[in-house]
Amino acid sequence: MSQRKHLPSIHVPHHKNTAGSETVVMPVPDVVKICMSQNIGAPCKPLVEKGDYVKVGQRIGDVEAFISAPIFSSVSGTVKDIVQSRGSMGGFETLVIIETDKKQEVSEEVEAPVIESLEDLIKATRNSGMVGLGGASFPTHVKFNPKNLDECKYLVVNAAECEPFITTDNRQMVENGQDILDGMKVVMHHMNLGKGYIGIESNKPDAIENLKRLIEQNEMNDVEIIVLPSSYPKGAERVLIYEITGQVMDAGVLPAQLGVIIVNVSTIGMLGEYFKTGMPIIRRRVTVDGDAVSEPKNVFVPIGTQVADVIEFCGGYKKEPRKIVMGGPMMGRATMSDESPTMKNTSAILCFSQEMAEVKAETGCINCQRCHSACPFGLMPSVFEEAYRNKNVDRLNRFKVMQCMECGSCSYICPARRPLSLTNKLAKNMVKEASK
């Protein structure tokens, strides 16, 4: 293990208003809209039809593609309709709309898995429907099946939770810390990983204290907590791997190629729960916050619940929402309507008024190079912006635009309020198109 280092970062207001708010369970809504596109890779195809009765934990969507994950009903009730709806990325998604009966009858399919081998682990993980809950939504079973397993040495659990407002990972560690260690134990054993690391930002002392206590109690000497500086973007995969292992992960390189299996802390925690109960991922712990929300809190939300129903449970709007963001304010996505459903990777619902959502007018670049100083990998967003405007693909490649992970640090720090991160994304798409 190399000496741990710290990459450049920025300090954003934490706004961890709900860090001390114990997670509450919202009532089952009247209707859920369960999207069939909830992971990187192939979307699922519905396994049910209009009029079918479904139960909690029943598989209602799947596909044979390797990079995908099945989808399960979060409620019991009747399939009211199957429709096509435009998603936040602009494309169309299939929604299975279920009218709930509030009985929450559990499906006969729900059964705790028997895991005695790596193959059992991979199969069970896929059957859980688990994806990266930190936002990436990459199917977890694929991570557990690397081509170079013999070279993998470390399990790194990403518990940094560096985005402002979001406190779901923190509550996972405080409320369900044993599930995290149980999940780590199973994964490390069957993947033959010799060491586990949990990377946590220093602004989560209650989580650090609880996990340290549990690690000692469970006599897990092969697991170590790494306390990270509380700055952004410490939770980015490539940043965390560098700071814990000292290895540089370039664009296009997988963590396993560096001997690392990395998972989000809520992902491994919910897997630990699934290994014991057999209940697949049917609900999410969601932080509800923002100046337009009456009662910010952490809520267990059935997957597919409409944003409006979650907000109503949190006392409704106290101001007219100008922008609703699913996820964090740095890397989350604005949704078009509060009729949008929650997904597996919905870690937060942030509702901002006009005052808080207002973006200041963009002005001319003054070549201050703050964007360059803020970038964890020393990239030059101002150069990318000029090259993109001039459609200069060679220059974009020469200055390594594909290394950008779109963390948004450059946009945040820019005194001219230029949308540099968005431009970087568009520039990367330009490079991809040019290479076809």
pLDDT score of 85 more than 90: no
Task: Output the CA torsion 18→241→233→418 (10° steps).
Answer: -150
| Inter-residue contact 326 to 88 (CB < 8 Å) | yes
Q: What is the 3-state secondary structure (H, E, C) of 89-141?
A: CCCEEEEEEEEECCCCCECCCCCCCCCCCHHHHHHHHHHHCCECCCCCCCEHH
32-76 pLDDT per residue, tens: 999 999 999 999 999 999 999 999 999 999 999 999 999 999 999
201-236 pLDDT per residue, tens: 999 999 999 999 999 999 999 999 999 999 999 999
Burial of 175 (0-12, 13-18, 19+ CB in 10 A): middle
102-151 pLDDT per residue, tens: 999 999 999 999 999 999 999 999 999 999 998 889 999 999 999 999 99
- Quote the pTM value: 0.95
Task: Output the CA torsion 402→371→333→14 (10° steps).
Answer: 130
Q: DSSP label at 59?
A: E
Confidence (pLDDT) at 5: 65
- 4 pLDDT band, cuts 50/70/90, is low
Residue carrying structure tokens 């949190």: 314
Residue carrying structure tokens 């040019």: 434
Separation CA 46–CA 63 (nearest Å): 9
What average pLDDT score do residues 391-417 get? 96
- Provide the mean pLDDT of the chain: 95
Upstream peptide bond of 43 is cis (omega within 30 degrees of 0): no
Q: Mark residue 295 as left, alpha or beta (left: phi above 0; alpha: psi -120 to 50; beta: remaining).
A: beta
Q: Measured between alpha carbons, how far apart are the two ends of the chain, in Å?
A: 39
Selected residue with higher pLDDT from 201 and 87 = 201
pLDDT score of 433 more than 80: yes
pLDDT score of 88 more than 90: no
Confidence (pLDDT) at 6: 82
234-289 pLDDT per residue, tens: 999 999 999 999 999 998 899 999 999 999 999 999 999 999 999 999 999 999 99
Domain ranges in the chain with CATH number 3.40.50.11540: 118-277
CATH topology of domain 118-277: Rossmann fold (3.40.50)
